Chain A
Amino acid sequence: KAGVTQTPRYLIKTRGQQVTLSCSPISGHRSVSWYQQTPGQGLQFLFEYFSETQRNKGNFPGRFSGRQFSNSRSEMNVSTLELGDSALYLCASSWGRDTEQETQYFGPGTRLLVL
């Protein structure tokens, strides 16, 4: 079974630009969660999607948004990029019925650098 894939793997943007990151979950998984990882902060929860619906959202500004498609693939968008948005963005997939007791499988991440 193919794992979670994320594209692109690396991205360099400048302040003020916007960016879209993509995540393809493991086949059959319907839940996709997004996390921001920065040095010393661990993984910060961004949002979770299931069947094209956002079920929860973390404490991030409205510049961070996401969506999920009918094939469970998910995208996240960051508008008006700031230097502090530089981070590794990870997505994780699971079956989705009860993500709090399911294994989440992480993708390799997209490393975003904002200059």
Chain B
Amino acid sequence: QQPVQSPQAVILREGEDAVINCSSSKALYSVHWYRQKHGEAPIFLMILLKGGEQKGHDKISASFNEKKQQSSLYLTASQLSYSGTYFCGTASGGSNYKLTFGKGTLLTVNP
């Protein structure tokens, strides 16, 4: 089952914050976040493992609520370089060796 991402698209001005959500109908083992710019390969941002951890990376952080089967990606003080499509990939564990990706959230940061 494909995770559901929201919103589908968001437009920001430089310096504004954004939150992207990823919800699954299945129990999750891990959540992976990627950013893809037009015409380029998806770039890894971070992995969160079950345990409800939160991770940070410069001004981009994420949380993982195992109970709610949700993850959120937080982008603070957005920069022009943050523009792109953000994907969450989820894994359910059990040696499935598979990530299931959401349809993506298109983030546009304007000057």
Chain A interface (Cβ within 8 Å of chain B)? 4, 31, 33, 35, 40-45, 48, 50, 55-56, 58, 90, 98-109
Contact = CB atoms under 8 A, between A and B. Distances in A.
B64 interface: no
Please tell me the size bucket of the interface on B. 20 to 34
B58 interface: no
A101 B99 contact: no
A43 B42 contact: yes
The SS class assigned to the B binding surface is loop
Contacts of B47: 101-103
Interface string B36-58: 00001111100101000000000
Contacts of A103: 32, 44, 47
A55 to B, nearest CB: 4
Contact of A50 (B49, B87, B97, B99): B97
